[in-house]
Amino acid sequence: MKTEKTDELGEHILKVKDFFIEFTKKVISLDGAKLSFELNLSELKALTAFTDDKKKCTMSELARNAGVTMPSMTEVIDSLVKENIVERQRDENDRRVVLVELTEKGKRMRKEFMDRRRLELINIFNRLDRNERKEFVESLEKVRSILQKLNI
């Protein structure tokens, strides 16, 4: 029946999603042990929510990029402001909008984290041979393409 196949597909998707979440947590926690600073997982997610360290972001952009709620992101940003990692500003064109920007300290921390994460991923994927890496990338691209067709 169609519903059985749909349920089975849903279960597979959830398993893959859960795996990627756990994989991401492991990569982030491995990085945390090798950084010159200490931030918790939520704070590291907030750092990576900045798509460009020169860009000011709204709270909603940061929350969406990090995959968390606005109240959660607000709490994390509060702690990062106290540590002088980010600063809040009002949008000059719309005073209701709060923009968040990385400080110089925050930019250095984000760069260190992103560089460390990149090295960690290289080390992880170097365990695969060239063909396995190629197959993995092609599989991810195929999934991305399918999801794009579905407008997800």
Domain at 104, CATH number:
1.10.10.10
Q: How far apart are CA 78 and CA 92, in angstroms?
A: 21
Q: Determine the pLDDT at residue 78.
A: 97
Q: Determine the pLDDT at residue 30.
A: 60
Query: Torsion over CA of 141, 143, 147 and 149, rounded to 10 degrees?
Result: 70
pLDDT digits (tens, 9 = 90+) for 77-91: 999 999 999 999 998
Q: Looking at the 3D structure of the chain, how many domains does it have? A: 1
Q: Determine the pLDDT at residue 80.
A: 98
Q: Determine the pLDDT at residue 129.
A: 95
Q: Determine the pLDDT at residue 46.
A: 94
Backbone angles phi, psi at 85, to 5 degrees: -95, -35
Residues spanned by the domain of 131: 2-149
Q: How far apart are CA 95 and CA 99, in angstroms?
A: 10
The amino acid that residue 26 corresponds to is K
Q: How far apart are CA 152 and CA 149, in angstroms?
A: 8
Q: Within the chain, which residues score under 50 in pLDDT?
A: 1
Rounded to two decimals, the pTM is 0.74
Q: Determine the pLDDT at residue 145.
A: 92
